Chain A
Amino acid sequence: MSSNRDALLKRLRDEAVMIRRGLWRAFHNGGSGHVGGSSSAADMLSALYFHHLRLRPAEPDWPDRDRFVLSKGHANGGLVAALARAGFFPEDELDTFYGFESLLGMHPDIKCPGVEMSTGGLGHGLSIGLGMALGARLQAKEFRTIVMLGDGELQEGSNWEAAMHAAHLRLAELTAIVDYNKVQQSDHVGTLLGLEPLADKWRAFGWEVREIDGHDMEQIIDALDALPFVAEKPSLLVAHTVKGKGVGFAEDTYTWHMNMVTDEVYAEALAELGEPS
């Protein structure tokens, strides 16, 4: 049992490295990208795509699949790196990032296999996920819906409309993850428009909340395995993360929310990320 868990953790940590390598690869080919918010989500994307979500990469529209909506759409580099690793499309597609005929742009595009919803404007995904979860309830289907939100994104009021609504419906079929990396485009979130007390806000809205270190793979899978946290309430996971996680010069700074990825920068990033052990 323990060795199984150790093997799982190793695999998920390895995939997280590959997702980070993949997102840097995509952004390098595109010339620029949202490194910060893609990297902060990478460990959770690994746990989602290689452990938690029930998916069939060869059958992306499988009706009973779990739904994952990346509401913080600017982290698409991380998402498509995970989708490529999971087999939704060849990893070489990452080299077409931003290309004229590419499946892959700065934000998730529904034409890309594995993407559930095109996003990009902030504050859309939670309501959409709510509708999907409601659809599951109405059809008595087992699939679960997970929406990943950014912290800066929570400044959009529409999220709080959806938060109220999901709790009102006691929608335990719905989970939201906040990638709480504390940094947005132009400054630290707390400086620009702070969210604290974030967990208490969601609790007050009627959600069951857990807080984890969003880079600690054990904590991530324990939280995902515990979903829904309680019956008759939507679940919220506040994942404390580091913007740009994995590459020192990109960590915890708004300059790497979105930045150019030159050959030199790319080489430096890959060297620091290393290969799976």
Chain B
Amino acid sequence: MRKTCLNSVLDLARRDARVVFVGSDLGVGTLDAFREELPDRFFMEGVAEQNLIGVAAGLAMEGYIPYVNTIATFLTRRCYEQVAVDLCMHRLPVRLIANGGGLVYAPLGPTHMAIEDMGIMRALPNMTVVAPCDAEEMARFMESTLELPGPCYIRLAKGGDRVVSEAAHGFEIGQGIQLRPEGEVALVATGIATTRALDAAEILTAQGIEAGVLHLHTVKPLDEARLLDLAGRARAVVTIEEHTLVGGLGSAVADLLVDRLPGTAPPLLRLGLPDAFPANYGGQDDLLALAGLTPEGIAASVGDFLDARRAA
């Protein structure tokens, strides 16, 4: 997904002289082709994220579209005020390409795991937050980044993630994609959690529970119309994300249902990471399993939730 994303930046740069790449101490091999082909618009800088965001803002003020790339935690936590003031307040078209969204960097420990990135980015006015589910969707998304007026946070997954999106779905920022037809339960997911949601839906179907899957590649702006439409018919809505339950997709959906369907919203189950810094290493899959975010774990949580509703 990362390779696809960065190759897309080069493609966009070939077509549009406004595109510049700004990286922060990224390893050899990252965009060598960009450096060779368009050296004037390729900046590989040091580890100084506050400065990089400010520089990107200055370049954007001069008409450029900077694509800034580094590790997600450093692109969000380290320079939050610069992102808020320099980018969001001025509504500048800077693209933040965040490596290792969620638990990708499990072996590196909690300093490198972006468990609240979508929440803190979503909290900023004018910010767009996107988490594609696979490399092919990433490629389709990148096409739409040239003309997006404000800043955009792009959450990258590990890479080599199973492809579940289809070209026929297209890509429009802010528009959810119904990847599995609606059932009695509406599973709603973002990023690679969508793949797990699809697998969980298979398990649920085998258990006699029809579950649809709505993929929200865009967490902000939220596809409110589709969610409200869906919520009007579903017995339950379940959000699934590789993110803490503080401020992410589940929070966004909860806000929407509470605000817009007072008293009539279907029951909502939010699945995600606990409000805690990960205390284990291992791999992304291990930590997801610990949080119950395997297909089996998701299916079991949904089954238990529905049972409890029936009993109530």
Q: Which residues of A contact B (CB under 8 A)?
A: 110, 116-121, 123-136, 138-139, 157-158, 161-162, 164-165
Contacts and interface: CB of A to CB of B under 8 A. Distances in A.
A161 B51 contact: yes
Interface stretch (B26-34, B84-92, B137-145): B84-92
A165 B45 contact: yes
Interface in B74-96: 81-82, 85-86, 89-90
Nearest to B57: A128
B59 interface: yes
Interface residues of B, number: 27
B61 A127 contact: no
A247 B309 CA distance: 73
Given A116-B61, A124-B86, A134-B59, 15 more contacts: A117-B90, A128-B55, A128-B86, A130-B51, A130-B54, A131-B59, A131-B61, A134-B55, A135-B62, A135-B63, A138-B40, A138-B62, A161-B46, A162-B55, A164-B46
28 contacts: A116-B61, A117-B90, A119-B85, A120-B85, A121-B81, A121-B85, A125-B54, A126-B54, A128-B86, A129-B58, A130-B55, A130-B58, A131-B55, A131-B56, A131-B60, A132-B58, A132-B62, A135-B59, A135-B63, A158-B48, A158-B54, A161-B46, A161-B48, A161-B50, A164-B46, A164-B48, A165-B46, A165-B55
B64 interface: yes
B41 interface: yes
Nearest to B51: A161
Interface in B17-49: 20, 40-41, 45-46, 48
A120 B85 CA distance: 9
B90 A131 contact: no
B204 interface: no
B53 interface: yes
**CB-based closest 8 A-B pairs:** A131-B58, A127-B54, A135-B62, A161-B51, A161-B48, A131-B55, A158-B50, A132-B58
Contacts of A136: 62
A134 B279 CA distance: 43
Contacts of A132: 58-59, 61-62
A175 to B, nearest CB: 14
Scoring B20, B56, B58 by chain A CB atoms within 10 A of each residue's CB, the highest score goes to B58
Contacts of B50: 123, 127, 157-158, 161
Given A124-B85, A127-B82, A128-B61, A118 B90 contact: yes
Contacts of A134: 55, 58-59, 62
A224 B90 CA distance: 29
A158 B58 contact: no
A162 B63 CA distance: 21
